[in-house]
A and B are shown apart, each in its own frame.
Chain A
């Protein structure tokens, strides 16, 4: 079936929205850079995370677990568990984007919250691809630039407590979680997970409580039957997406 081509106006609109999200998201890469360095990662390690891992919540998680004194591998495991979210996005996006071969291999790298949110609602493959690429590429470029800036700034600051950078990490996680809290069951899961994690803190090695909280997700997922309306992020759920 032939889809109608995008009009020049539609193309401009999609590109403008994608770049706006890139700018807004890129801006908080400064926060990641500063937080990661104050967690004990080197500037090089921080920049490699943004270049190669390139999925904000997982990056913050790795830094956060390391900051709390957790083993690097606990941080990696938490990052991977959070990264499974992108697999769900991919399954949802594949029939829309219809890419194969090297294009799919390249596109996978910029498959993140923002690129999904800005293309999942497009009605044509052309529109979805354009939204996905403009958002994904502009976030990638700006996120990496701002990570480097934040990393060098964080290094200059030294002790994370000086400018409250340790408090910024919790706020960042809450902001990442926020769009999902529109759903009442997610609020219950979040509260249970927080209680489980905190009760594990005195009992286990740093990094383990967060992984243990993942058990709450398994339990609730097995025991409940309802689908979650907030599963795939919408335009309103990403920085710079709403006006």
Chain B
């Protein structure tokens, strides 16, 4: 685990430094820029899906879906990040109590 963590830390720093150091023409290739720009969107969406309706090896629906439902409503109401995250946790925890 430590190896993966330290490698990822070093890599993330180098990605930041590269951005400040690389010549501007790297961005000149529109396909490269579009792909790089869409990667976070795809990965974050996939992370949401996998976190909420899977337990690692199979798909399952449980209280986490209600938590995500709360998060959607809170985000639509422009609630702050902490309210979104804590609220989702509280909703899921309450649903498990019922």
Q: Do A and B bind each other?
A: yes
Residues of A within 8 A of B (CB): 24-25, 27-28, 30-31, 41, 45, 48-49, 52-55, 57-58, 60-62, 64, 66-73, 75-76, 78-91, 93-95, 97, 99, 104-105, 107-109, 111, 161-178, 180, 186, 189-198, 201-202, 206, 209-210, 212-218, 220-222, 224-225, 227-228, 231, 239-240
Q: Residue A170 contacts which of B36, B38, B52 (CB distance < 8 angstroms)? A: B52
User: Are the CB atoms of B80 and A24 closer together than 8 Å?
Assistant: yes
Consensus secondary structure, chain B interface: helix
Chain A residues, CB < 8 A from B47 = 60-61, 64, 78, 170, 173, 197, 210
Consensus secondary structure, chain A interface: helix
User: Are the CB atoms of A174 and B68 closer together than 8 Å?
Assistant: yes
Q: Report the bound CA distance from A68 to B52 in whole Å.
A: 10
Q: Report the bound CA distance from A83 to B16 in whole Å.
A: 8
User: Are the CB atoms of B86 and A88 closer together than 8 Å?
Assistant: no
B43 shortest CB reach to chain A, Å: 6
User: Are the CB atoms of A80 and B38 closer together than 8 Å?
Assistant: no
In the A-B complex, the 8 residue pairs with the smallest Cβ-Cβ separation, listed nearest first, are: A90-B19, A167-B67, A213-B46, A221-B35, A164-B92, A171-B88, A167-B92, A72-B4
User: Are the CB atoms of A198 and B54 closer together than 8 Å?
Assistant: yes
Chain A residues, CB < 8 A from B39 = 81-82, 84-85, 214, 217-218
A180 shortest CB reach to chain B, Å: 5
Q: Report the bound CA distance from A24 to B34 in whole Å.
A: 30
0/1 string, B6-26, CB within 8 A of A gives 1: 111111110111111110101
In chain B, positions 32-59 with a C-beta closer than 8 Å to chain A are 33-59
Q: Residue B41 contacts which of A67, A84, A186 (CB distance < 8 angstroms)? A: A186
B19 shortest CB reach to chain A, Å: 2
| Contact flag A61-B43 (CB < 8 Å), given A99-B20, A164-B91 | yes
For B34, the closest partner residue in chain A by CB is A221
User: Are the CB atoms of A105 and B17 closer together than 8 Å?
Assistant: yes
User: Are the CB atoms of A218 and B35 closer together than 8 Å?
Assistant: yes
User: Are the CB atoms of B38 and A186 closer together than 8 Å?
Assistant: yes
Most chain B C-beta atoms within 10 Å of own C-beta, residue among A176, A178, A228: A178
For A225, the closest partner residue in chain B by CB is B30
A41 shortest CB reach to chain B, Å: 7
Q: Report the bound CA distance from A197 to B52 in whole Å.
A: 12
Most chain B C-beta atoms within 10 Å of own C-beta, residue among A30, A87, A176, A220: A87
User: Are the CB atoms of A227 and B43 closer together than 8 Å?
Assistant: no
| Contact flag A76-B11 (CB < 8 Å), given A57-B40, A87-B16, A217-B39 | yes
User: Are the CB atoms of B46 and A79 closer together than 8 Å?
Assistant: no
For A45, the closest partner residue in chain B by CB is B5
Q: Report the bound CA distance from A209 to B92 in whole Å.
A: 24
B97 shortest CB reach to chain A, Å: 10
User: Are the CB atoms of A86 and B19 closer together than 8 Å?
Assistant: yes
Q: Report the bound CA distance from A82 to B11 in whole Å.
A: 11
Q: Report the bound CA distance from A176 to B49 in whole Å.
A: 14
| Contact flag A87-B15 (CB < 8 Å), given A24-B81, A173-B47 | yes
Q: Report the bound CA distance from A162 to B92 in whole Å.
A: 9
Sample (9) of A-B pairs whose CB atoms are under 8 Å apart: A53-B8, A76-B5, A79-B8, A88-B36, A93-B20, A161-B96, A171-B85, A202-B57, A218-B35
